[in-house]
Every structure is written in C-alpha cells, then in structure tokens.
Amino acid sequence: MVRYERKTVVCLHVNGSRHELAVRPSDLLLDVLRDQLGLTAAKPGCKNGDCGACTVMMDGWPVKSCLVLAVEAEGHEILTVEGLGGTAAVQKAFVDANAFQCGYCTSGFLMVCHALRTQHPVMPEEYTVEEWLQSNICRCTSYEEIRKAVDIMYGGGGG
Amino acid sequence: MIPFDFIYCRPDSLTEALDTYRQLEAEGKSPVYYSGGSEIITLCRAGGIRPGAVVDIKRIPDCLCLFPDDQGLNLGSACTLNQVKESKHFPLLGTVCGRIADHTNQCRITLGGNLCGSIIYRETSLPLLLSDAKMTVFGADGLRTIAFKDAFPGRMHLRPGELIVQIHVPSRALRAPSSHVKRTQNEKIDYPLVGVAAIWQDNVLKIAFSGVCAHPFRSPRMEAVLNDHGPSCAARADKAVSLLPKPAYSDVRGSAEYRVFVLRNTLEALLEDWENGQI
C-alpha cells in the first residue's frame, strides 16, 4: 500500500520519459506538469473540469489534468502535446484546417482529438465525434474548423 | 491548486482500505474514500471540504470488476462512467452515464463516486432504483450485500468506514425496454432540470427521477397513477406531478414551478410513446 504524507518523491511517466518529482499529495497533475516539468501545453483555464484546456492523455484516454492528483498518475502513461512531437496527424490536421484563433484551447483540443483517434482508429460515427469534442470549450468559437480538422486527421478532406 | 495538504493512501485490498480508513480516523484526519476524485478535488479547491486524508480505492481489484454472470451484471464501484457505458451490458445505465458531465470527465468519474457524491442529482442511482439492484459493501462486519433501494433513500447511507465494493443488477432488468430523458436549462452538458429513467417489465412502468426534488426518488404512488390506463396521458401526467414525495427543487437553473411544468410535459410525452407502441 502507498501512503504519502507531506512532500514526497514520486515517479511519473510523461511523454515516454521517467521523472522523479517531489510533490505534495494534494498537488494537481496540471500544476506539476507545468511548474515542475515545464510542460506548459496543458493550460490552466477554468481549473474546474469544465473547459478542457488542461486535457492530457492518461493510458490513451483523455483526462482533465486539473482534476487529477499528481500522485494518482503514478504507474500511468501521461501524454501531453509536447509528446506529440509536432508532426502528429492531429497537429498537421489542425494547421491544415486553421483550427485555432487565439490558441489557448488548442492543446486541449489536440489531446482530446488524438485520444479519439487512439481509441477509434477508424472514423467513428458523428455522434461519437460530437460527444468527445463537447468536452472542450473554444471561446473564439473555432468549432467548425476544429470539426474539419477531425475529418482531416482521419484522412478526409474536411469538406 | 488545493490550498492545503492531506495524506494520500492507495490500498491494494478492501481490508487495507478499511484498516487505513480507521487508522486515519483514529489519528483525527477525517479521511474520505476517493475514487474518480472530480468532486473531491473541486470541493477541496473551493473550500467546501477539507479532508485530512484521502483513501484512493481505484486499485482495489474488487472495486474494478465489470462482468455479467448468470445472475446479472456486476459493476465495481471504481468503474468509470465511460467503462460502464462502453461495456453496453446495461443500456439504460450506459445512457444515463453518457449524459453525466462530459465525455472526458466520464473517463474519470466513477459509479461509486456519482452515487456517494454531495451533488444532489446522483443520476446513476435511477436505473439502479428501477432494477432491484443489490450492493455489496465492506466494513467492520466484513462484506454484506444489501438492497440498493434500502441503502439509497435519495442519498447513500452507509455505516461509518464502509465503502461500496460492487453493484449487482439482476439479468431481468438489463434488457428490459427502457427510456431516459434529461432536460437541462440550455446546454446539453448540464445538471438536470428533470431527469427521468424508466423501464417496463411485464408491461408495467417503473420510473425514477432526478433533479425534480432535492434528491433522486422513485414513487410507488406516482407509478400507480402512470400505470392506470383509464385516464388520458395528459390526465395521468397531471395527477402524477401532484404526488411528488417532496417539494420540487428550485435553484438558478429552474424554479420549482418550471421543473414541475417540464416534468409534466415529459411524462405526458413518455406515456404517449408508450401508448403508441414506441417504447
């Protein structure tokens, strides 16, 4: 059994690398990614699980890192936008579709779309795409372009 | 960030979980069992609760099962809403899970967490109230299995230190014709103004509600009225909403009067679908 009290060193697997980090049990994964690992793609937005700007992947599924304790991430594979490497299909699709304006929500959308393709390698039905995308908010309302990017990510034309 | 420290424990077994909980309680740490964590983190950040310790049950194998057997379906309390939905074993519960929060949060929120949460809606309780579900809990007396409806008169009532291990849904309920309606103020993703779950067994309607009153409920008196095929659908809906077991809930999302109005129309439409063979 694990028992952590006060600041403790834990091992997190992030973007394929192992990191030993000193965290408080109440530290949030979002804050540890940004402040300790310098991985600032996950954005603090509402910090209440509503906006999705802080979305990362945990074992292939999307999670809002503002609602995950860093200590909970032990033993799981965490993937952030930095781990996509800049050349992932989802990143290229967002560029091709101009699927951003201010860009603050982009990394969250990238991760939820990348997770969608990870869990559904073949383009799922529209209801499923809509359901996944509804987890994130774009205040610049680039929703149409983001939806187009999903089509492009799956090899379609986005039209 | 969460502006205070707590102790984090992650037991590997039910016995460890209970022992840890009791030990922390003896240390004056006011522990809470922790599963998906969404509500606990949110409340900690907002100052609503201040536990001295959390006991994370997500890696206890007994709390993670999700399998059907010849008796029905067994659902671990730490199964996420998304896992329940994707399993497709209990379509009505899957549909309800798919309308709680958003998809990403459904990948974290657990069945046990939703049932034990402090937010009043606890929508996953509705299919369980309708299906004669049972619940296995673990506490000082070891494992005990109890009827879900007895432990959940609107909110979860467990003995001190007890935790939910599994929910058991009888086979008969899993494939019964069913319907789920969730009416929200504006957005698709929101708490319910009115949430209705219904199943039909032997052509008898069983129905439960969330959002209408300050806790989820199932009402035999309302069911009797709704199952009386003599009066019109409109008359039955009118009569049913006059029999709410508690005053209708009122908040910024909708007044009590509006919730009753929405409920009445929802019931009439549901009855018409039933009468027209569309269920």
Residue B92 maps to which CATH number?
3.30.465.10
- For the segment A100-133, what is each residue's pLDDT rounded down to a tens digit? 999 999 999 999 999 999 999 999 999 999 999 9
B206 belongs to a structural domain: yes
Indicate if the pLDDT at residue B279 is higher than 90: no
Q: Are residues B21 and B92 in the same domain?
A: no
Domain count, chain B: 3
Nearest chain A Cα distance for residue B191, angstroms = 13
Among B159, B174, B189, the domain-final residue is B174
Report the distance separating Cα B194 and Cα A68, nearest Å: 30
Q: How far is B53 from chain A (nearest CA, A)?
A: 9
Q: Which domain holds residue B93?
A: 61-174
- Domain boundary residue, one of B155, B174, B193: B174
B105/A61 touch (CB, cutoff 8 Å), yes or no:
no
Residue B264: band (very low, low, confident or very high) from pLDDT cuts 50, 70, 90:
very high
Q: Which residues of B touch A134 (CB under 8 A)?
A: 102-103, 188-189
Establish if B1 belongs to a structural domain: no
Q: DSSP states of A81-102 as a string?
A: GGGGTT--HHHHHHHHTT--SS
User: Is the CB of B109 inside 8 Å of chain A's CB atoms?
Assistant: no
pLDDT in tens, A39-54: 999 999 999 999 999 9
- Say how far apart CA A134 and CA A129 lie, in whole Å: 9
Residue B155 burial (C-beta neighbours within 10 Å; 0-12, 13-18, 19+): middle
For A58, other C-beta atoms within 10 Å of its C-beta total 19
A1 contacts in chain B (CB < 8 Å): 9-12, 16, 20
B132 and B100 inside one domain = yes
Q: Which residues of A touch B54 (CB under 8 A)?
A: 25
Largest CA distance in chain B: 62
Nearest to residue A14, comparing CAs of A54, A70, A86, A64?
A70
Is residue B2 in some structural domain? no
- B64-111 pLDDT tens trace: 999 999 999 999 999 999 999 999 999 999 999 999 999 999 999 999
Q: Residue B249: inside a domain, yes or no?
A: yes
Residues B212 and B256 in one domain: yes
Whose CA is closest to A119, among B106, B189, B100, B59?
A: B106
Task: Indicate yes or no: CB of A4 within 8 angstroms of CB of B7.
Answer: yes
> pTM (2 decimals)?
0.96
- Is there a domain that residue B255 lies in? yes
Out of A2, A49, A61, the one facing B9 most closely (by C-beta) is A2
Could you say which of B125, B156, B174 is where a domain stops?
B174
The mean pLDDT of A21-43, rounded to a whole number, is 98
- Please give the structure tokens belonging to residue A71: 């200590």
The pLDDT mean for chain A works out to 96
